[in-house]
Structure 1
Amino acid sequence: MTNYREILRLIGQGISQRSIAVSCECSRNTVARVLKRSQELSVSWPLNPDRTNGELHKLFFPESSLPLTRKRPDNEYIHKEMAKSGVTLSLLWNEYCESSRLSNEIPLMYSQFCYHYQQYVAKTKATMHIGRKPGEQMEVDWAGQTASIIDTDTGESIDAYVFVTVLSYSQYAYVKAFLNQNQESWITAHINAYKYFGGATRILVPDNLKTGVERTSWYTPVINKSYHEMAEYYGTAVIPARVRKPKDKPSVEGTVGIISTWIIAALRRQQFFSLAELNRAIREKLEVFNRKPGTVKSFSQISFRLV
């Protein structure tokens, strides 16, 4: 514990704060804080011999003397909220941290928060773990919600279609807006995603869109020729999600909903007069999204085949 008695004694002798810090083996900031608090409370040397450093600590810094406890998360509430559309563990952790601070309690770290929830789920609900390898699979889709830009000539609003792709293992995402959903935009979006991620995955999981899959089938889907040629060029295998089986690409299905909130909805009050301007704003939001807890923070942690 800081020797407050000695600090006050040396202050009373007119010793410099730097010298006091060296003598009492504490920082100059500590000496400055003690000096400020002693002046505010009119406490000076000499002190009552019975007054201990512990008592002085409580007098000078009562807020740090309060016992702090770690708040246990309400896993039952978390489990109910996780069943709602767009709700993620990172969102619930942020809300949990906020409520912990308001009640003067220490929140758990995100990793511990997830660990306790996983333990709760393991005891109350049967789950199946689907193993993913880093950089192995990329899921792609168009977001159902559109963005918009303003035509500078007519002032009319033009829909912009948002392409979303996510790496299944790391949950790292890439988002870009296009003026249409044709074959050229679809292929360009994939190429841009590979550039953003810095490599190509072994498996590509699209939805059953005409730009990607010409004929849907449970067993033998027919891949669009241009799409197949692109996949062949990058050395990746196209494995479309089965019809009415969203769990075949759960990462992108979940990310589309979150992206709609984090990016598209967040930009709803802004006006953009070009596609480039809209995509710059999307890119800024995307970088924030990808830094959230739960995603890989650097590409060095992902195993890619470089293109």
Structure 2
Amino acid sequence: MTLTARREALRLLLQTKLSNRKIGELLGVSRNTVARDRKKIQLKQWCWSDIEAMDDIELSGHIHGHRQHDSNKVMPDWPETHKLLQAKHQTRIELWESYRDAHKDNAYSYSQFNHHYKQHVKTLDICMRQIHYAGEVVYVDYAGKTIPYYDDATQSQRQAQVFVGVMGCSNYTFVFASASQKLENWIEAHNRMLWFFGGVPQVVVPDNLKSAVTKPGRDPVINRSYQDWAEHCGLAIVPARVRKPQDKSKAEIGVKLITRWISVPLSRQMFQSVHAINQAIAPLLQRFNQRPFKRLPGSRESHFNELDKTVLRPLPDAPHVYGEWLAEQKVGPDYHVYVQGHAYSVPYHLVGKQVSARISLKSVELFCVHKRVACHLRDDIVGGATTQPEHRPASHHAYANQSLESYTEWALTLGTATASFVAAQFKGRHDHYMPARQACGRVKALARQYDAVRLEAACQRALDIQSPTVKSLTSILRNNLDASSSDDTILNTIPEHSNVRGPDYFLIEEPSETDSVEDSAEGDLPKRGHDDA
């Protein structure tokens, strides 16, 4: 606990009535630590003005106390002591007893002996041998040495990157060549590594490259696509500290050995593709893993089969689908967001909210506050739009459904004549013709004004007189012409007039037997039903 946090804890204890637990939660410390500070306040009868008057050194002295060092004590020879402790079966207590016998009352106690020895060790640049448990950790990194190949697409020579993964316990090593160190190549190499091991370890320790860590530091931010892969496989990602190669010493040693035994021999050849490089790596990697240890019995492969392989967790049931995450963006008023130039819809109630997109080879997933809110098939048409009907509000949904199909479906609930009348509006036009949709909207308005029976009869009347227009339909309903027959309608709508010839005028009589051929030849016209007006 820092002095700043300690001072704040004392202030909260003196100026508020918060509990020890609450103060501990606010400062990120144990409630027992706060409880000890409360007892110290009661013991010393402090008030806040007393603490404000103290500087950090004085406050630290009151809290921790300053131990007075006895100048008469003789400090042991720590370099010699440390050298002796390297011997097998040598213990500290035996060395302390020898030191005490030599200096009697001027010797430090055993606890002080250990304390000063630890302080001495901190000044030494030494490495501690780590304990690696079976199936726990795999260390991954890219080798510095690349392998050349000729790229037919660009008609140029390129360099293949060499991915290396080393199991912590057995040193069993995986090697894979890829075209680059991009995110998709990085995750593909991890998938192939797990398939090569035949199981999933508990932890992966990578370096701080961009494909693995978005923001390095004390609290590193893992690349979101990389984190998706880890969650899918059920393992943890623990990046090595920046400029701390000892955190992934296995990978460093593995890279050095792979460079010697695989990368350098293959770099003397010219390959036609990355696939050809991986084919050449396979026999060399098998020989490398079967190479006997110098100081241990067996080989990497035998140790892996004996130790790691038996405790690795099973591979995921389904393969991981790579997806790339894009930065968050605000949902526009049309409830669409743009992903690589194409607009995709989200539920309309998310307008103004921030959503992020995950792009895979076939799909586009949209997330809001880490919850998936939409999933679309990927469409790479720039300027296009993909909209799911359920994402629209009710009014937009109703407007979007204005088409021949939707209007016909509604009209059939009233009758076949209404359906035929609706179909006539779209005759020779496409299913979303705007004037036809407007006409059908007016028919719907008439359906709310008149009952279904009258509207059906009126539609039938308009079809009979071959005038399937909304104007005719409105006139028929207003003049109650839907109740009369079509013949009566025609006769009643044509007023009587002397100049109207009528239908009988056009009836031609057959010539009688008494009519002579000569009369016909003279040009006499056959008689009509009545004289011309």
Secondary structure of residue in 2 paired with 1:162: strand
State how far apart, in whole Å, the 2-side matches of 1:150 and 1:185 are.
18
Once the 2 structures are TM-superposed, how far is the Cα of residue 284 of structure 1 from its aligned partner?
1.2
Residues 215 and 221, structure 1, Cα contact 8 Å, conserved in 2: yes
Following superposition, the deviation at residue 293 of structure 1 comes to 1.9
Instruction: Tell me by how many angstroms 1:151 deviates.
Output: 3.0
Q: Which residue of 1 aligns with 2:282?
A: 283
Tell me by how many angstroms 1:296 deviates.
3.7
Structure 1 residue 271: Cα displacement: 2.0
Q: Which of 290, 307, 313 does residue 305 from structure 1 map onto?
A: 313
- For residues 175-190 of structure 1, what are the structure 2 equivalents within 5 Å? 175-190=175-190
- The residue that corresponds to 2:205 in the other structure is 205
Q: What is residue 262 of structure 2 aligned with on the other side?
A: 263
What is the correspondence of 1:48-197 to structure 2 with a 5 Å cutoff? Answer: 123=87, 128-152=128-152, 156-197=156-197
* Superposed CA offset, 1:99-146 (max 9, x none): xxxxxxxxxxxxxxxxxxxxxxx6599763311111100111111111
Partners of 1:197 and 1:299 within 8 A in 2 = no
**Gaps in structure 2 of 5+ consecutive residues:** 1-85, 89-124, 294-299, 316-533
Report the secondary structure of 1:249's partner residue.
helix
Contiguous gaps of at least 5 residues in structure 1 = 1-121
* Alignment correspondent of 2:292: 293
Q: Report Cα offsets for 1:178-232 as digits up to 9, x if no partner.
A: 11111100010001000000011101100001111111112x1111101111111
Match of 1:26 in 2: none
CA contact (8 A) 1:213 1:223 kept: yes
Change in CA separation of 1:262 and 1:123 when aligned onto 2, cut-off 3 Å: farther
Answer yes or no: is the 8 Å Cα contact 2:135–2:307 preserved in 1: no
Q: Is the 8 A contact 1:263 1:286 kept in 2?
A: yes
SS at match of 1:281: helix
Partner of residue 272, structure 2? 273
Matched residue SS, 2:211: coil
- Report the structure number with the largest CA radius of gyration: 2
How many angstroms does 1:276 deviate by?
1.1
Structure 2: how far apart are the matches of 1:254 and 1:128? 16
Distance 2:180 2:208 in 1: 17
Residues 169, 307 of structure 2: 8 Å contact kept: no
TM-score w.r.t. the length of structure 2 is 0.33
Which residue of the partner structure matches residue 215 of structure 1?
215
Matched residue, 1:11: none
Distance 1:153 1:190 in 2: 26
Identity among equivalent positions (%) equals 39
2:263 counterpart SS class = helix
How many residues in Structure 1 have an aligned counterpart in Structure 2? Answer: 186
Matched, 1:237 2:244: no
- Distance in 1 of aligned mates of 2:268 and 2:128: 41
Q: TM-score if structure 1 supplies the norm length?
A: 0.57
- Report the 3-state secondary structure (helix = DSSP H, G, I; strand = E; otherwise coil) of the residue aligned with 2:291: coil
Q: Which amino acid aligns with 2:144?
A: G
Deviations 1:56-109 (A, max 9, x none): xxxxxxxxxxxxxxxxxxxxxxxxxxxxxxxxxxxxxxxxxxxxxxxxxxxxxx
Q: For residues 271 and 209 of structure 1, what CA distance do their matches in structure 2 show?
A: 28
RMSD: 2.2
- 1:126 and 1:216, CA in 2 relative to 1: closer, same or farther beyond 3 A? closer
Query: What is the distance in 1 between the residues matched to 2:196 and 2:252?
Result: 20
